[in-house]
Amino acid sequence: MHFFGHEEINLLEAAQDGKLEFIQQQLASLTSKQLQEACKKSDYYGRNALHYAAYRGHYEVVEYFLNLQCLDLNSTDKQGNSALMLVCVRGYNQDFDESVEQNDHTESIDLRKYKIAKLLLQRGATLYNYLKDHINNPLHWACYFGDLKLAQLLLYYNPDLMLRKNDRHQFPIDIALTNGKDPERQKLIVKYLIVKFLAHFLNSEQQIIQLQQLNKDLEFCNQEIIQDHRINCQKMDRKIYESVGLNYLFWASVLGDQDLVIPFLKQQFSAFEPSYKGRNAVHAATYQGHDKLVQLFFEQNYCENKKIQCKKLINLMTIEKPQTALHIAVEQRHENIVNYLIKLGADHNLYNFRNQAAFVSSRSTRIKELRQTLLKTEKNLIRSGYKYVLVGSNMSQNLVKQQLNNIKEKVTIGKFKAVPIKSYNESCIYYIIKVQNELKNEVAHKEKMMIYNFTQGIICPFNKNKAYMYENFHHYHDQQIILTLLYDEFNLDQFMHDQLLLDHFPLHDEEEKKQLYNQWKLEKWDLLKEPLSLYQNRCRTPSAIKAYFGSEGGFFFVFLSFFTTWLFLPAIPGIMLGVYIYSTNKYDTLFVPIYTIALAVWATIFFEFWKRKQSETMFQFDMHVETEQKKKIQSFQGQFWIDDVTHKIEIQYSKRDKWKYYKTTFPLILLAIIMIAGEQIAYQYIIQLQQRTTNFTIICSIGLGISIKITNEIFNYFAKLSLKYENHQYQNELEDVYIIKVFSFSFLNSFVRLFYKSIIDPDADELNILSITLTIVWSIVHLTRFTIIPLIKHQIRNYFLNSQYEQYMLKSWKKQYVSQIASVLDNNTEIQVNKSFDRSSISGKRFLKSVEQNRIMMPTPNHVDQFTYFIIQFCMVTMFSASSQLIPVAILLFNIFTIDSLLYAYITFVKRPIAEAKRSIGLWNDILLIVGYIGTVINCLTIYQANQDQLNNLIGGQNNQTNKETFALRNFLLLIAAEHIVIGLKFLIEQVIPDEPVWVTKMLQRQEYLYEQMVNKNYDSGSSSQKSKHD
- H, E, C per residue of 469-502: HECCCCHHHHHHHHHHHHHHHCCHHHHHHCCCEE
Q: Are 489 and 399 in contact (CB under 8 A)?
A: no
| For residue 587, pLDDT beyond 70 | no
pLDDT top residue among 382 and 885 = 885
Residue that wins the pLDDT comparison between 535 and 970: 535
Asked if pLDDT for residue 305 goes beyond 90, the answer is no
Residues 139, 867: Cα–Cα separation, whole Å: 55
pLDDT at 955: 56
pLDDT at 674: 93
* CA atoms of 337 and 294, how far apart (whole Å): 8
Number of residues in the chain: 1031
Mean pLDDT computed over 986-1012? 79
pLDDT band with cut points at 50, 70 and 90 for residue 895? very high
Mean pLDDT, residues 383-393: 84
Q: Using the predicted structure, report yes or no on whether residue 778 has a pLDDT greater than 90.
A: yes
DSSP designation for 172: G
Closest-CA residue to 145 (of 177, 103, 174, 102):
177
What is the structure's pLDDT at 975? Answer: 60
pLDDT of residue 675: 92
Q: Has residue 903 got a pLDDT over 80?
A: yes
User: Quick one: pLDDT band at residue 5, thresholds 50, 70, 90?
Assistant: very low
Lowest mean pLDDT among 93-102, 523-532, 919-928: 93-102
Residues 6+ apart with CB under 8 A from 458: 452, 1007, 1010, 1011, 1014
Question: DSSP characters for 868-886?
Answer: HHHHHHHHHHHHHTTT-TT
Which of these ranges, 221-235, 529-543, 733-747, 792-806, has the smallest mean pLDDT?
Answer: 221-235
Look at residues 483, 507, 531 and tell me which one is the last residue of a structural domain. Answer: 507
Q: Report whether 982 contacts 988 (CB < 8 A).
A: no
Higher pLDDT, 999 or 189: 189
Residue 231 is predicted with a pLDDT of 34
Confidence grade of residue 232 (pLDDT, cut at 50, 70, 90): very low
Is this structure's pTM higher than 0.75? yes
Candidates 639, 420, 403; CA nearest to 498 is 403
Look at residue 566 in the predicted model and tell me its pLDDT. 92
Cα(672)–Cα(664) distance, integer angstroms: 12
CB contact at 8 A, 352 and 361: yes
Does residue 814 have a pLDDT over 80?
A: no
* Contact present, 458 and 467 (Cβ < 8 Å): no
Element (H, E) at 650: strand 649-652
Letter string b/e over residues 42-71, b meaning 16 or more CB atoms within 10 A of that residue's CB: eeeeebbbbbbbbbbbbbebbbbbbeeebb
pLDDT, one tens digit per residue, over 41-74 is 888 888 888 888 889 888 898 988 888 888 888 8
Given a cut of 50, whether residue 391 has pLDDT beyond it is yes
Sequence-distant (≥ 6) Cβ neighbours of residue 483 within 8 angstroms: 492, 914
pLDDT at 846: 73
Q: Tell me the pairing of strands 388-392 and 416-422.
A: unpaired
Q: What is the CATH number of the domain that holds 104?
A: 1.25.40.20
Res. 193 pLDDT band, cuts 50 70 90: very high
pLDDT of 308: 63
pLDDT at residue 101 is higher than 50: no
In this model, does residue 264 exceed pLDDT 70?
A: yes
Determine the pLDDT at residue 832.
41
Q: Identify the domain containing residue 1015 by its residue range.
A: 998-1031
The per-residue pLDDT for 830 is: 39
Residue 571 lies in a domain: no
621 part of a folded domain? no
Contact in structure between 676 and 749 (CB atoms under 8 Å):
yes
In the structure, what pLDDT confidence band is assigned to residue 825 with cuts at 50, 70 and 90?
A: very low
What's the confidence (pLDDT) of residue 498?
Answer: 81
Rounded CA separation 661/638 (Å):
15
Each residue's pLDDT tens digit, 620-643:
888 887 777 777 776 666 666 666
Q: Of all residues in the chain, what percent carry a pLDDT higher than 90?
A: 16
C-alpha–C-alpha distance, residues 694 and 348, integer Å: 59
Residue 307 pLDDT > 80, yes or no? Answer: no
Q: Is the dihedral of CA 979, 984, 990, 992 positive or negative?
A: negative
Total Cβ atoms within 10 A of residue 345: 10
457 lies in a domain? Answer: yes
Q: Helix (H, G, I), strand (E, B), or coil: what is residue 23? A: helix
Q: Which residues pair with 52 in a beta bridge?
A: none
DSSP one-letter code for 692? -
Instruction: Reply yes or no on whether the pLDDT at 318 is more than 60.
Output: yes
Q: Cα(382)–Cα(824) distance, rounded to whole angstroms?
A: 11
Question: pLDDT (tens digit, 9 = 90+) per residue, 940-998?
Answer: 676 655 555 555 555 555 555 545 555 555 555 666 666 666 677 777 777 777 778 88
Please tell me the predicted confidence (pLDDT) of residue 139. 92
Cα separation, 690 vs 505, in Å, equals 55
pLDDT band at 6 (very low <50, low <70, confident <90, very high): very low
Last residue of a domain, one of 101, 126, 151: 126
Mean pLDDT throughout 237-245?
A: 74
Is 1003:620 a contact under the CB 8 Å cutoff? Answer: no
End position of a domain, from candidates 111, 126, 141:
126
Q: How far apart are CA 612 and CA 927, in angstroms?
A: 17
Please determine, for residue 826, whether its predicted confidence score (pLDDT) is greater than 70.
Answer: no
Alpha helices in 98-234 (DSSP H): 106-122, 138-145, 148-157, 183-200, 205-214, 223-233
Task: Using a pLDDT cut of 70, give the percent of the chain over it.
Answer: 81
pLDDT in tens, 425-458: 778 888 888 888 889 999 999 988 888 888 888 8
Domain contains 106: yes
Mean pLDDT of all residues in the chain?
80
**pLDDT tier at 194 (50, 70, 90 boundaries)?**
very high
pLDDT at site 107: 64
The pLDDT assigned to 774 comes to: 92
3-class DSSP assignment, residue 718: helix
pLDDT at 410: 86
- What's residue 100's pLDDT? 43
H/E stretch holding 851 reads: helix 843-855
Q: Which residues pair with 429 in a beta bridge?
A: 392, 422
Q: Assess contact for 17 and 11: CB atoms under 8 A.
A: no
What mean pLDDT is predicted for residues 377-404? 82
Mean pLDDT of 465-489: 87
Question: CA 773 to CA 704: how far, in whole Å?
Answer: 10
Q: What share of the chain is helix, strand, coil (3-state, %, to 5)?
A: 65, 5, 30
Assigned domain for 4 exists: yes
pLDDT at 694 over 50: yes
In terms of DSSP H, where are the helices of 346-502? 365-375, 397-410, 437-447, 475-489, 492-497
Amino acid identity, position 921:
I
Contacts of the segment 111-115: beta carbons below 8 A, 24+ positions apart: 111/149, 112/57, 112/59, 113/57, 113/87, 113/88, 113/147, 113/150, 114/147, 114/149, 114/150, 114/153, 115/59
SS (H, E, C) 884-948: CCCHHHHHHHHHHHHHHHHHHHHHHCECCCCCCCCCCCCHHHHHHHHHHHHHHHHHHHHHHHHCH
Q: Does the pLDDT of residue 652 top 80, yes or no?
A: no
478 vs 92: which has the higher pLDDT: 478
Q: In the chain, how many domains are there?
A: 3
Would 1016 be classed as within a structural domain?
Answer: yes
Give the lowest-confidence range in 451-455, 575-579, 803-807.
803-807
**What distance lies between CA 247 and its chain's CA centroid?**
27
Is residue 407 in some structural domain? yes
Confidence of residue 103 (pLDDT cuts 50, 70, 90): very low
Which residues lie across from 453 on neighbouring strands?
A: 458, 470
Maximum mean pLDDT: which of 82-86, 344-348, 374-378: 82-86
Does some domain include residue 117?
Answer: yes
The answer, yes or no, to whether residue 870 has pLDDT greater than 90, is yes
Burial class (CB in 10 A: 0-12, 13-18, 19+), 637: exposed
Res 733 pLDDT > 90: no
User: What are the residues whose beta carbons fall under 8 Å from the beta carbon of 792, sequence distance 6 or more?
Assistant: none
Write the DSSP string, 947-1015.
Answer: -HHHHHHHH-----STTHHHHHHHHHHHHHHHHHHHHHHHHHHHHHS-SS-HHHHHHHHHHHHHHHHHH
Cα 542-518-341 angle, rounded to 5 deg: 100
Report whether pLDDT(511) > 80: yes
